Amino acid sequence: MPKAGRGKENDNVKETPVPRPVRAEFLKSAQGIGDSVEESLSEVVFLGRSNVGKSSTINLLSGRKNLAKSSATPGKTRLINFFDIGYKLGEEDYTVRFVDLPGFGYAKVSKSMKEIWQKNLVEFIRNRTAIRLFIHLRDARHPRTKIDEEVERYIREFLRPDQRYLTVFTKADKLKQKERGALLREFPGAILISNLKKSGQDRIQQEIFQTIFGAEF
């Protein structure tokens, strides 16, 4: 597949290209790696606490309002959901697979069910070779919760050379400009987004393409 390139220059002003989602398809839900879809595409995994805005973020990035369905009950979704997202960048077509993991932190399930669930997720994120990018969604108003810190530390322990970890703070519209600046200084390389105001998604799309296709922006 051709490598995505830089934008054209008009009147000495460089345009920054942004991948545009043009197709989005739900594939299936799986309990674990054993019944997951075939590893035929590079995958972007979305993980985060329940109620952090994971479904809204996936919908925003895919250009589809109801592709990923959120539950009114935090922690209710317990399956791994797969979506194929088709992009256009310049004249080229690209396809990326989004993987929506169950939210963590609020699940009201039995201890035995939670242990099975956790085992399935750990096995998936450690052994799924198609994963190229982990996007960890964190609430901008609560940037250092214990469970978020533990998840980041855990993933970084087994991150492969061909994988990347990206911190994305949701609900950035809830912060004042000064607070947003302080958060970015505390977390260099992180991205702030607002699903409500539909801001920040272009940066994430570019990060996805840099990681998977080696695109330069």
Q: What per-residue confidence (pLDDT) applies to 107? A: 52
For the chain, give every domain's residue range: 19-212
| CATH number, domain 19-212, options 3.30.56.10, 3.30.1200.10, 3.40.50.300, 3.40.50.12500 | 3.40.50.300
**pTM attached to this predicted model:** 0.88
Q: Tell me which residue of 167, 131, 115 sits closest to 37, measured CA to CA.
A: 131
The amino acid occupying position 114 is: K
Q: What per-residue confidence (pLDDT) applies to 58? A: 96
Q: What per-residue confidence (pLDDT) applies to 4? A: 41
Q: What per-residue confidence (pLDDT) applies to 77? A: 61
Assess whether pLDDT exceeds 80 at residue 167.
Answer: yes
Q: What are the CA-CA distances from residue 119 to residues 60, 122, 127, 170 (Å)?
A: 30, 5, 12, 27
Write out pLDDT tens, residues 7-48.
Answer: 444 445 467 789 999 999 999 999 999 999 999 999 999 999
